Amino acid sequence: MRYFPIFIDAQALQVLIVGAGEVAARKLELLLKSPAHITVVAPEVCTTVRHLAESDQVTLVERAFEESDLDSRRMVFVATSDEALNADIHKLATQRNMLVNVVDNTPLCGFITPSIIDRSPLVIAMSSGGNAPVLLRYLRQKLESILPANLSKLGSFSERFREKVKQSLSTVTERRYFWESVLEGDIAEEVTQGNDDKAEQKFLAALEDASEQKQTEGQVYLVGAGPGDPDLLTFRALRLMQKADVVVYDRLVSPQILELVRRDAEKIYVGKAKSHHTVPQHDINQILVDQAKAGNRVVRLKGGDPFIFGRGGEEIETLLTAGISFQVVPGITAAAGAGAYAGIPLTHRDLAQSVVFATGHLKDGTIDLNWQGLAQGNQTIVFYMGLTGLPIICEQLIKHGLSADTPIALVQKATTSDQKVLTATLSSIVTHPQLSEMKPPTLIIVGSVVSLQSKLNWFE
């Protein structure tokens, strides 16, 4: 993110625009939506600028630029057709630590103006850093069609009662829960329909009820984040992630998914790798209990699915003992994601009529599995967390009846742009020259269905 997005208070902002053509007119028109005071300096003035300059906010100076024009200004837009002059003004303004924008010349811009959707007091600003203006325009059109024009009424209503809510509800969490109930309920509907008196009556009644309640009871949501691709999140998972007060997440949650969490939520990393637990499981369980008892809405964000090698069962046992309310939100498990994105169907009418998921290591660190049950024909086996124990897995499957020529696939970082697939046989995979390049998280798929990978591999 090269350009850091901020909103500047324009109440007493002094802005200079150098140039008075149609390009400058667009900037002037935008600035006039704010309370800023604007000075326009140019020897020649187009009709549009002259018309806009009739506003009391604008001072029009019809002469060539002088360095003293920069005095007492905090922001300057340079919009002349003289490239040398534009560069000189940029240099002078930069020396004064001013915010400077040379229109249509990104390298000479200390800031850029975003694409704006105005539902004042709600304002949405978007930018592509000057790299994709058509895409930006497309996204703005989409958002304009989704966001109703009367959304501004809801913003004004919220602004009107913000201080009263703050006085009535003492904690940030209580206020957040209250506002969410307002914005998602019939009060918001009354506001957007223009029924202000009815909306106010319902609002004040709801606020009185909320202020009389004791501390808000927290809740824990065990949420499956899926195998890595953010597009594979469920709608419910995304909704809870954007409402969470606290997010407790592990190392299998991709950075792209973590970006979708509410910005001001507290994020607690409890990542674990084989034989290296950053935070022991019993401590994770206690974190969930403590945060919920503090009245927080807690999302326990897990890679894949919470109930498939995600220790979700262990965590909710603790929550039950502590009397903490919880919900479980399933996610696409890694096996399903890896198989689909690697082009390996886990079941197939001709090749595999069953599929079994197994862990590559048990709680005590061993790989003491039911090998006889796993080594069955016409069955796909998916091993989670099995990369370290790969030699033992191959050895035991062959020993218990699978052919040494049975296909095997390793899928690293499935469903992400870093996905890598390595295929071989049970007898050859451990000596494969590229095996050393495979790193966790890697899933192991064993069975005849792996033979379809080269034909069905659509993602890579």
Q: Is 44 marked as a binding-site residue?
A: yes
Q: What is d(CA 118, CA 124) in angstroms, rounded to the nearest whole number?
A: 7
C-alpha closest to that of 376 among 408, 400, 350: 400
Q: What is d(CA 296, CA 219) in angstroms, rounded to the nearest whole number?
A: 7
C-alpha closest to that of 403 among 425, 370, 435, 373: 425
Q: Is 343 marked as a binding-site residue?
A: no
- One of 243, 267, 272, 420 is an active-site residue; which one? 272
Let me know: does 293 contact 324? Beta carbons within 8 Å: yes
Q: How many CB atoms lie within 10 A of CB 39?
A: 19
Cα–Cα–Cα angle for 253, 255, 256, nearest 5°? 105
Virtual torsion, Cα 448, 454, 455, 459, nearest 10 deg: 120
The DSSP secondary-structure symbol of 329 reads E
Strand-pair partners of 380: 355
Q: Is 22 marked as a binding-site residue?
A: yes
Q: Is 23 marked as a binding-site residue?
A: yes
Let me know: does 380 contact 447? Beta carbons within 8 Å: yes
For 240-251, the DSSP string reads HHTT-SEEEE-T
- Answer yes or no: 153 catalytic: no
Q: Is 333 marked as a binding-site residue?
A: yes
Q: Is 334 marked as a binding-site residue?
A: yes
C-alpha closest to that of 239 among 177, 299, 179, 155: 299
Output the CA–CA distances (angstroms, integers) from residue 202 to 164, 417, 447, in the order listed: 15, 49, 62
- One of 153, 245, 250, 302 is an active-site residue; which one? 250
C-alpha closest to that of 175 among 218, 216, 121, 217: 216
The DSSP secondary-structure symbol of 440 reads S
- Answer yes or no: 250 catalytic: yes
Q: Is 184 marked as a binding-site residue?
A: no
Q: Is 180 marked as a binding-site residue?
A: no
Q: Which residue has the tokens 């326990």?
A: 300
Q: What is d(CA 407, CA 404) in angstroms, rounded to the nearest whole number?
A: 9
Q: Is 385 marked as a binding-site residue?
A: yes
In angstroms, what is the C-alpha Rg of the chain?
Answer: 30
Binding-site sequence positions for S-adenosyl-L-methionine: 227, 303-305, 308, 333-334, 385, 414
Binding-site sequence positions for NAD(+): 22-23, 43-44
Binding-site sequence positions: 22-23, 43-44, 227, 303-305, 308, 333-334, 385, 414
Residues serving a catalytic function are 250, 272
